[in-house]
DNA sequence: CACGCGACTTGATATTTGTCAACCGTTCGA
DNA sequence: TCGAACGGTTGACAAATATCAAGTCGCGTG
């Protein structure tokens, strides 16, 4: 699935957004300059494989626009691990540890990605104390998100995971009772750890709780009924919602 | 399950082992002294609840001896998330972020635990650059371990998880073809995301691959057969093996 | 416009996993 | 020493989930 793509160097001005990330905002101007010197921005069409698990981590990636699917494979099977949306980094841990990627990454939409050489990140980590501290915050955040995801999978049935996912999306949509799924249902099914067929049936099972689905359009007719069934917990479902400029909310 | 326990202050000399952890070995003598000033060591009998998910993180915990089970609950269900063995910290991410615990912790054996006030850890994090960097390494390690665990659950059946678990334990046992399970089977079943009944049957299903079980004693008669079935992958199964003094091996 | 492709759905069926109840064997304490 | 408690096992059954095959629908292209 997906193919590789080369080329696409962009002017330096495109890095503007990167500086707004908490990870980089605390850096000295010096080390930020140093870090961006070897970096570049690439535009990717949808469905392009950018990195593959097992490879060594040459670049820290920053999603500037679009969306990237992190996925993993084993023995001919494949599962979606996370969807990364702007503005966020991915594979930070592999970069810092200079260890192989544990996940593969592909675009699921047309995306603009900043690529920062891993060795430069590690150099900045050694040289800039504030940058090192920012990385701690970022990693702790990532760690807690994975733990929550893992709890989700181990403690809930697929139907419960879907119900809680919809409630989380509703929060993201500002509490509106109507919103669109942010990607294809087959991606969602893999993210939730189920088959597309199972997801399709799960949506039907949520009709009694006031969930109406039309294509990607979701209508939560009775949030209270859905919440009563889903029993969302802040210790599983409060995922850091991202706004430009940093992370918002407890995580 | 388990009860709370108070008291049990110990003399300072008991902290010796803590200094050997990579997390603390790089600290300045000053900040280490500062950090240990408010810390103490407690002895816990088995099956004692030490922390509960949702509580605020008052202490960073270090397992000096024994074993601690990290587990999570939701809606009346419970699952084992990880077993922490000496010498390792747990709930570092919650401590750093000053956020609620995502997991509960109980001893599964008689254990000696060092308790370091979270606010002191955060103060040391602010004051000591090398300590901040050590935390990065530790968190990146933890993050990658959870990702591997998550891949294990999403990509494998329970039988495959058991087979690979046994192979990992064999490595821990120095490659010996006979070793003991490090804890009760019901804990193992929860850790692997299955019921005790299912685990019992899974062991039987591995007989054709040369796995002989007698109580906690495991005999891998034909490692090659088991490996052929389990198909272990470094990107899932290479978990950092801990030795006194630091982490060993790629993770 | 018709065609084909891809995403999604639906039905039938199989596999995996969980639940419930009964039972075995060991341990530990009255 | 007896027996209750507990961990583990087993069997019968139920629920959750996956698989396979055949659709439907919408959309973009030749």
CB B121 within 8 A of CB B73: no
In terms of domains, do B123 and B166 share one? no
* Cβ neighbours, 10 Å, residue A54: 14
Distances (CA, A) of B149 to A102, A154, A246, B193: 11, 11, 28, 11
Q: What is the pLDDT of residue B7?
A: 42
Q: Report percent pLDDT > 90 for chain A.
A: 88
When pLDDT is averaged across residues B30-57 and rounded to a whole number, the result is 94
- B42 pLDDT higher than 90: yes
- Whether nucleic acid strand D comes within 7 Å of the CB of A200, the answer is no
Q: What radius of gyration, in Å, describes the C-alpha atoms of chain A?
A: 19
Round to a whole number and report the distance in Å from the CA of A7 to the C1' of D18.
41
Q: What is the pLDDT of residue A5?
A: 35
Considering B118, B153, B188, which residue would you say is the last residue of a domain? B153
When pLDDT is averaged across residues A16-40 and rounded to a whole number, the result is 91
Q: What is the pLDDT of residue A12?
A: 52
In terms of domains, do A96 and A39 share one? yes
Residues facing strand C, Cβ within 7 A: A 184-186, 196-197, 199-201, 203-204, 213, 216; B 157-159, 193-195, 197-198
The reply to whether A251 falls in a domain is no
- B128 pLDDT higher than 80: yes
In terms of domains, do B110 and B207 share one? no
Q: Smallest Cβ distance to B143: which of A77, A81, A139?
A: A139
- B109 pLDDT higher than 60: yes
In terms of domains, do B147 and B174 share one? no
Q: What is the pLDDT of residue A15?
A: 79
- Whether nucleic acid strand D comes within 7 Å of the CB of A197, the answer is yes
Q: Which domain holds residue B30?
A: 12-153
Mean model confidence pLDDT for chain A? 91
* Cβ neighbours, 10 Å, residue B33: 10
- A91 pLDDT higher than 90: yes
Predicted-assembly ipTM surpassing the 0.85 threshold: yes
In terms of domains, do B127 and B161 share one? no
- A17 pLDDT higher than 90: no
Residues B164-190 have pLDDT tens digits of: 999 999 999 999 999 999 999 999 999
Q: What is the pLDDT of residue A248?
A: 47
How many domains are there within chain B? 2
Q: What is the pLDDT of residue A14?
A: 67
CA distance A105 to A118: 16
Kindly list the residues from chain B whose CB atom is less than 8 angstroms away from the CB atom of residue A132: 129, 132-133, 136
B183-208 b/e with 16+ CB inside 10 Å = b?
A: beeebbbbbbbbeeeebeebbeebee
Nucleotide D20: closest residue by CA–C1': A197
- B244 pLDDT higher than 80: no
Q: What is the pLDDT of residue B9?
A: 47
Torsion of CA A215, A221, A227, A230, to 10 degrees: -30
The reply to whether B3 falls in a domain is no
Distances (CA, A) of A243 to A46, A92, A240, B37: 23, 19, 10, 40
Contact A99 B251 (CB under 8 A): yes
pLDDT band with cut points at 50, 70 and 90 for residue A249: very low
Q: Which of residues 77-116 of B touch A (CB under 8 A)?
A: 77-79, 81, 92-94, 96-97, 99-100, 102-103
Q: Can the peptide bond before residue B143 be classed as cis, meaning omega within 30 degrees of 0?
A: no
Residues B124, B125, B130: CA angle, nearest 5 degrees:
95
- B4 pLDDT higher than 70: no
Kindly list the residues from chain A whose CB atom is less than 8 angstroms away from the CB atom of residue B73: 155
Q: Which CATH number goes with the domain that contains B218? A: 1.10.10.10
The reply to whether A22 falls in a domain is yes
């Amino acid at each position: 699935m997906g193919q590789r793509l080369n080329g696409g160097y962009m002017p330096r001005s495109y890095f503007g957004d990167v500086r707004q990330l908490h990870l980089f905002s605390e850096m000295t101007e010096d080390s930020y300059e140093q870090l961006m010197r070897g970096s570049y921005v690439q535009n990717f069409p949808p469905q392009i494989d950018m990195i593959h698990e097992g490879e060594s981590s040459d670049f820290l990636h920053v999603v500037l626009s679009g969306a990237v699917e992190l996925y993993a494979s084993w023995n001919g099977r494949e599962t979606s691990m996370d969807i990364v949306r702007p503005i966020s980094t991915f594979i930070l841990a592999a970069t810092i540890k200079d260890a192989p990627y544990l996940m593969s990454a592909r675009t699921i939409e047309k995306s603009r990605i900043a690529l920062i050489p891993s060795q430069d990140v590690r150099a900045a980590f050694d040289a800039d104390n504030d940058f090192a501290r920012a990385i701690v915050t970022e990693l702790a955040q990532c760690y807690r998100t994975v733990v929550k995801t893992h709890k989700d999978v181990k403690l809930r049935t697929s139907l419960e995971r879907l119900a809680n996912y919809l409630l989380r999306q509703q929060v993201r949509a500002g509490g509106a009772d109507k919103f669109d799924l942010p990607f294809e249902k087959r991606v969602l099914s893999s993210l939730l750890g189920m088959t597309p067929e199972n997801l399709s049936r799960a949506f039907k099972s949520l009709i009694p709780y006031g969930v109406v689905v039309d294509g990607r359009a979701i209508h939560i007719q009775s949030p209270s009924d859905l919440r009563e069934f889903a029993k969302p917990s802040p210790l599983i479902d409060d995922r850091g919602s991202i706004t430009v400029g940093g992370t918002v909310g407890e995580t």
